[in-house]
Structure 1
Amino acid sequence: MLRRKLLATAAASFAAPAIVSRASLGQNLRKVKMGSAFTTTTNAAFLMPALLKPEGIDLELVMFPSLVQRMQAVASGDVDIGNGGLSATMQVATKGFPMQVLANGCDGGWMVLAQPSIKSFKDLVGKKIAVQNGSIGLVSLNWKLKQEGVFGKVDLAFMDNQDQPIPLMRGDVAAICVFEPYAALAEQNGWGKRLWVPYDSPMGKTNLGFVASSAFVKKDPDLTKKMVAAHVKATKEMAANPSIAIETTIKQFKMTKEVAELSTKNLFFSADSGPAFVSGLKSLARMMIDDKMLEKEPDWDNFLNLGYV
C-alpha cells in the first residue's frame, strides 16, 4: 500500500507541472531596442515596455539628442525601431538607406519663443534664432521667415532642444524654435514669450513618425505588428488621459508640475495615420525640397507602410 501511495504521488506530480508564464522567464524575453528623443512628443514610448512584456518582448529605450543620429541608428540596425523626426527620416531614406514610416508618432509639440523686447519677426533681423539642425522646427521656421520677408536676414544658431532655453535666458539668442518640454520651461520661467504658434504652414502639425528600416520590417513582420500595436495603445492612453503625460514629463524630464502641465497643452498625441497625416508628410517633403534640405521626395509606395496601424 505504501508503494502504491508513493507511485500515485509521483504520477500526480508529473501529470500537473507548474505553469510559468512566458513573460516571467527572463531568458525567453526577446530584446528589442527602440530609439527615442529627449522631447515630450515621444512620451508614449515610456508606456511601451510594460505593454510589450506580456508579449515576451523586453523593450529598451535608447535616447538620442540628435534626430539625425537617431534615424541613422535605425537605418544601420544599431536600434531596431524608432520614434523618428519625419524630416530626418526622409533625409536618411533618400540617401540610400531604405526606411519605412509605420504610423503617425505625435503631432505638434514645438514653439517659437522670443525675448520680451521682440514684438515681431522683423525685430529679429540681424539677431540669432536657436533651432535644431535638420528638424521639422527648422523647416517650419524657414517657411515663416520667408512669409515675413526676413529669410536670410537672421542668424540661425544650431542647438539641440535641451540646450536652447539657457541661451535665451542669458540673451545669447533673441529667439528659440524649440520642442517641448523646453518651450514650456522657457515660457513658464519668463525667459521668453510666444512669438509664433507654428502650425499654419502647409505641413500643419506634422512632426513625428513611428519608423523602422525596411530590412527590419521584412525580416520580422510579426514583431513589427506587435510594436506598432503597443505604440498605438500607448498613444491612445496619452491622448485620453493628460495626467499620464504630465506625470511622465515630471518623472522623465525632472520638470515641475507647472511646466509639465503647460507642455502637454502643446502636444497632440495621435496615431491617426490616414489621409491628413499623409498629406502633411508630403507637404513637408515639398517644403524641404524648397529649402534644399531634401534632394527629392521619397518613394512613397515603399516609404509609407501604414497597414500595421
Structure 2
Amino acid sequence: MWMRLSAILALVFSLTGLAQAQDIVRLGNLKFAHYGTISYMKEIAGKYNLKIDERVFAKGADIYPAMAADLVDIAASGGDGAVAARGNGVKLLVVAGFADGGARILARPDLKISSLAQVKGMKVATVRGGIQDLLLLAELDKHGLTWSERPGKDVQLLYFGNYADLSQALASKYVDVICQSEPQSTQAISAGWGIELLKPYDTEVGVPVRPLVMTEKMYTEKRDVALRVLKLFVDATIAFRSDPALAEKYVRESVFKGQLSSEDFRDAMNNARYTFDMPPGHMDKTTELMVKHGLGKMANPPKEADWVKLDLLKEAKASLGVN
C-alpha cells in the first residue's frame, strides 16, 4: 500500500514539476482581426513549454509603458508606437513582422465625396499612437492638405482614445472622415456609417507592417525562451495561413466573442495579411516619416540597425521548414 501511495505521490510531483517548468511569457496585444495569430499563440504554447499570459490593451501606445515597467515581455502593435517607445528610451527590439495592411480611410456616405482631396474644411479623426495616425498624415501631406487640432488649417484633426469611439464618432456625424483599423473599418461600412475613400498604402510608408517586439531583457538574458517564443509565433502563423477556416473560427469566436460576422472577417482580411517578416528599411522609413510629421516626440529617433534583430526569427523559421 505504501509503495502504491509513494508511486502516486511521485506521479503527482512529477506532473506538478512539468507544469511549473513552463516559462511564462507576458504578452501585450490588441483586439484586431489581423492580430489573431498573436492571440492564438497562447492556445499552442504548451508545445514549446511556454505559457502565454495575454493582456489586451485599448491601443498600441498603452502597451509600451507596461513594457518599460517590466510588466510585458513581448507585444504586438503598429510600427509607429514601437518607434516612439524605442525613441524615448524603452528597451525593446523588433524581432519579426506579424501582419501587414489593416487600415482604411472612410467618409460619411451623406457627404458624397470620392477622394481625400475633397476633405478640405472637414473634421478628420483617428486614434493617437496607432499606425493609422501616421498613414493619415502621410495621405493628407500627399494630397497637399494642411492640418491642425485647432481650426484654421485645411482640415481639423480630432483624436480618440479607442477604435470603437472612432467609429461611433463617424456614425453620429460628429466627424466627417476617419482613418480606422480592421475589422472596425469593415464593420463601419457594413453598418452604413462610412464608405471607403482609400486604403492608405500609396505614400512613402507603403503597406504598413506590424512589428512583434520583445524586451531587450528577454532577448539577451533568456535566449532559450526568446527562441521558443519565435518558434511558437512562426507555428501559429503557419496554422492560420494554411487553414483559413481555423483563423476565422478562432478570431470570430475567441477574440471577438461572436461579435464579428463571417462576411466582415473575410472582408477585413482581404485588407490585411498574416506574415512573419519585417522588410529591410521599413522601420527606418516609418521613423523618418514620424520625425517629418512630428509624431512620437522622440528624444533619439532609433536606427533600424540598432533595434531590428531578426536572427531568432531566421532560426525559428529554419527549424520549422519555412523559407
Q: What TM-score results when the alignment is normalised by the length of structure 1?
A: 0.88
% identity of equivalent residues: 22
Q: 1: CA distance between counterparts of 2:42 and 2:169?
A: 35
Contact 2:284–2:303 (Cα < 8 Å) also in 1? no
Q: Which residue of 2 aligns with 1:141?
A: 136
Q: Which residue of 2 aligns with 1:306?
A: 310
CA change 1:257–1:23 in 2 (3 A) is farther
Contact 2:59–2:130 (Cα < 8 Å) also in 1? no
Q: Which residue of 1 aligns with 2:264?
A: 259
Q: Which residue of 2 aligns with 1:42?
A: 35
Q: Which residue of 2 aligns with 1:105?
A: 98
Q: Which residue of 2 aligns with 1:31?
A: 24
SS of residue in 1 equivalent to 2:180: strand
CA change 1:50–1:250 in 2 (3 A) is closer
Please state how far the C-alpha of 1:304 moved relative to its aligned partner.
0.9
1:76 corresponds to 2:69: yes
CA change 1:203–1:122 in 2 (3 A) is closer
Corresponding residue to 2:82 among 86, 89, 94:
89
Counterpart residue identity of residue 54, structure 1 = K
Counterpart residue identity of residue 284, structure 2 = K
Q: 1: CA distance between counterparts of 2:174 and 2:60?
A: 24
CA change 1:20–1:208 in 2 (3 A) is farther
Please state how far the C-alpha of 1:289 moved relative to its aligned partner.
1.0
Q: Which residue of 1 aligns with 2:121?
A: 126
1:197-276 to 2 correspondences below 5 Å: 197-251=199-253, 252-253=255-256, 254-273=259-278
Please state how far the C-alpha of 1:20 moved relative to its aligned partner.
9.1
Q: Which residue of 2 aligns with 1:185?
A: 187
Contact 2:107–2:176 (Cα < 8 Å) also in 1? yes
Please state how far the C-alpha of 1:206 moved relative to its aligned partner.
2.1
Please state how far the C-alpha of 1:24 moved relative to its aligned partner.
8.7
CA change 1:239–1:224 in 2 (3 A) is same
Contact 2:101–2:207 (Cα < 8 Å) also in 1? yes
Structure 1, 168-177 or 120-129: larger mean CA deviation: 120-129
Counterpart residue identity of residue 94, structure 2 = V
Please state how far the C-alpha of 1:22 moved relative to its aligned partner.
6.0
Please state how far the C-alpha of 1:114 moved relative to its aligned partner.
0.8
CA change 1:110–1:32 in 2 (3 A) is same
SS of residue in 2 equivalent to 1:97: coil
Q: 2: CA distance between counterparts of 1:28 and 1:107?
A: 35
Counterpart residue identity of residue 122, structure 1 = A
CA change 1:241–1:20 in 2 (3 A) is farther
Structure 1, 151-160 or 234-243: larger mean CA deviation: 234-243
Q: 2: CA distance between counterparts of 1:34 and 1:18?
A: 32
Q: 1: CA distance between counterparts of 2:16 and 2:248?
A: 29
What CA deviation, in whole Å up to 9, does each residue of 1:93-127 have, x standing for no partner? Answer: 11122210000121111111111222222332222
CA change 1:130–1:219 in 2 (3 A) is same
State how many pairs are aligned. Answer: 296
Counterpart residue identity of residue 101, structure 1 = V
What CA deviation, in whole Å up to 9, does each residue of 1:116-161 have, x standing for no partner? Answer: 2222223322221221112211111111111112222111221222
Q: 1: CA distance between counterparts of 2:78 and 2:16?
A: 32
Q: What TM-score results when the alignment is normalised by the length of structure 2?
A: 0.84
SS of residue in 1 equivalent to 2:185: helix
Structure 1, 292-301 or 74-83: larger mean CA deviation: 292-301
Unaligned runs of 5+ in 2: 148-153, 314-323
CA change 1:57–1:149 in 2 (3 A) is same
Contact 1:23–1:55 (Cα < 8 Å) also in 2? no
Q: 2: CA distance between counterparts of 1:42 and 1:162?
A: 17
SS of residue in 2 equivalent to 1:237: helix
Contact 1:35–1:82 (Cα < 8 Å) also in 2? yes
What CA deviation, in whole Å up to 9, does each residue of 1:33-80 have, x standing for no partner? Answer: 100012122110222112211332221110001211112212321111
